[in-house]
Amino acid sequence: MPGYRYPIEQDEKYKARVQFAAKGSSGGLLGVANLYFPEAVSFSDGLVYDNATLGYAGEMVRRGVADTMQGLQTGGLNAAERSLSDVVSKATSTVKENFTSARDTLGSTADVKNVLQNGLIPATSILVQGFTETVSPGLSGAVASGTEVTANPHKRSVFRDVALRTFTFSFLMSPQSEAEGQAIEDIVYFFRENAYPDKIAGELGYKFPTQFYIEFFYGGGKMSQAPRILPSYLTSVNTTLNPRSSSFFKDGKANEVQLTMSFQEERALNKSDIKIGF
């Protein structure tokens, strides 16, 4: 199993390090690279929410479902009401009852004007808009314009999923010896090789690339402050030769090499992962 290290000669400045262990699909260790802990290592958690406009009907369903679920939690509903279909059915029946009440109150479209003129604003205006918004948006807008009362659109943040965490590491490596220059070249090759998949079935498909297990160390022990990272795929590798100069060594190797890599975890986290250190 190949092992790589930069810098080769350790000192107080490089007591903190990042270890990248490459493992195959069978779990076998393919190689390990230990690099110094770079500047500005960021750990970002992302949650994805949609902005939903429920409208009158949606809000009635939401309230019905909320009331029904509260009944389930407090034991206020009998066993016949405890299925998901019953919860939805009970909630939607609330909407139907409200629509029926609105229809019976207003009668025909011609009656809308009479009801509004009889001083039942704003409640009637909101009811009419809610009743007509899914059937005739134009009529709903006309009622709002005429009465100068607008129904609450009932916007809600709706949780959708958890974003996959990504991590970027950038290492500026300047060899201090011929051996260190070769080590840098081997390190770049190690990451580039394991970022790519193997072709299978006569180039008809790909086998998933190598996964990396990333850990942070200080001295002889693991860092407690840095969150743990799930097995990750290497999604990009960027190699820049001589980012700050144009000089080379006698053997033709660059004076400096900037290695920048991005990783993405294999799955999204959940609360139980956070509790154990991720």
pLDDT in tens, 246-274: 899 888 889 999 999 999 999 999 999 99
Least-confidence region, from 54-68, 204-218, 264-278 = 54-68
Residue 137 has pLDDT above 80, yes or no: no
The mean predicted confidence, pLDDT, of the chain is 83
Determine the Cα–Cα distance for residues 56 and 133; give it in Å rounded to an integer.
8
Residues 6+ apart with CB under 8 A from 199: 205, 206, 207
Question: Given this model, what pLDDT does residue 109 score?
Answer: 47
| CA atoms of 139 and 202, how far apart (whole Å) | 62
Prediction pTM value: 0.76
Q: Flag whether pLDDT at 235 surpasses 60.
A: yes
Evaluate whether 151 touches 144 at the Cβ level (below 8 Å). Answer: yes
d(CA 209, CA 14): 30
What is the pLDDT, as a whole number, of residue 80? 46
The reported pLDDT for the residue numbered 261 is: 98
Q: Which pLDDT belongs to residue 58?
A: 78
pLDDT band at 168 (very low <50, low <70, confident <90, very high): very high
Q: Is 6 exposed, middle or buried (CB count within 10 Å of its CB: 0-12, 13-18, 19+)?
A: buried
DSSP 7: S
Q: How far from 272 is each of 268, 269, 276, 277, CA to CA, in Å?
A: 12, 8, 7, 9
